[in-house]
Amino acid sequence: MLVRGLRGLTHLGLNLTGLATGLYIALFAIAAQLGIGQQASWCLAGAALLAGAAWLGNLRRARAIAELATSRIASAAQGYVEVMGRASVDADNLIFTPLGGIQCIWYRYKLFSKDNAKREWRQIESGVSSATFDISDPTGVCTVDPEHAEVVSPQVRTTYPGNHKLVEELLFGGSTIYVLGDFSTIGGASTALSLRDDVGTLLNHWKQDRTSLHQRFDLDRNGTVDLHEWELARKLATKTVERQHREIRQRPGVHLLGAPRDGRLFLISALSPQALRNQFLRWSFFHLAMGIVATAGWFYLA
């Protein structure tokens, strides 16, 4: 159960790193206070498991970034891709943080209250934005849905309003944004259309107005539309639908980036792919070192 829980926590990426560092310090300090014994061994074993999960999580992220080339928005394949683009600064693309009132495209905040008795900050409120925002490159525009995203290395602003501490993590309009996620296009050339179904729908629509149907296709004016005349109607319906399909596919599609349905990584960052990969690698080495120290200590006490 512990290993499964740690694997789940690695989905938090660099957010877990700060938590893990504090846990390492706490577990090592407790083990040192306990001295040689089974309880100290359990503390070091827990630190080793935590380090292993965090090491694998960061290494997995570094590899995922390295394995994909950055795609252009207009030519990106449907599916799992990475893109980079400039975040829009249009007014309808910007939002404001609820407490600090800072204009941005994405935020996450935590509000702390000062506990004078314990002389420490206690979190009393938190929140994260879910509004979509647009990024663009020289080839096109893409709408990013940040729901369930792992946002890495946003800008952090800390203020002290009254007897509180407000920590805000922010992504700003006009900045270059990296996204690794599921890419899809609605409309445009990728629109799924069925010629057979649409021709049938159009013919049924014509049948509903029998007067107009006979005026158009009863060529011999005998009061019925025979098989030959109906075949002419079918050919006209086919040509009409084909023309409509061409017009639909010539319209520009709407590109979307969001969380992959298969559970793969969904990353958003203001860092470049190389800088992001290097950061994950540095943290993976750090967690590996902590794991080696914890494991060595466990063997020493065992």
Domain ranges of the chain: 2-187+253-301, 193-250
At residue 188's C-alpha, the angle toward residues 186 and 191, to 5°, is 65
CA distance 89 to 154: 17
Contact criterion met (CB below 8 Å) for 139 and 71? no
* Beta-bridge mates of residue 117: none
* Confidence band of 229 (pLDDT split at 50, 70, 90): confident
Q: What pLDDT was estimated at residue 22?
A: 66
Q: How far apart are CA 238 and CA 301, in angstroms?
A: 80
> What mean pLDDT is predicted for residues 206-225?
86
Pairing of strands 140-144, 95-96: unpaired
Classify residue 279 as exposed, middle or buried by CB count within 10 Å of its CB (0-12, 13-18, 19+): buried
Specify the pLDDT at position 151: 95
pLDDT in tens, 41-90: 777 777 788 888 888 888 999 999 999 999 999 889 999 999 999 999 99
For residues 263 and 265, give the distance between their C-alpha atoms in angstroms, rounded to a whole number: 7
Which residues on adjacent β-strands are paired with residue 219?
none
The more confident residue out of 263 and 258 is 258
Mapped to the 3 state alphabet, what secondary structure does 50-115 carry?
A: HHHHHHHHHHHHHHHHHHCCEECCCCCCCEEEEEEEEECCCHHHCEECCCCCCEECEEEEEEEEEE
H-only helix segments in the chain: 2-9, 14-34, 38-67, 195-208, 210-217, 227-250, 273-301
Whole-structure pTM value: 0.70
pLDDT tens digits, 116-137: 777 788 999 999 999 999 999 9
Partners of 165 in the beta sheet? Answer: 112
Calculate what percentage of the chain has a pLDDT beyond 70: 83
Say whether 159 sits in a helix, a strand or coil.
strand
Other beta carbons within 10 angstroms of residue 254's beta carbon come to 13
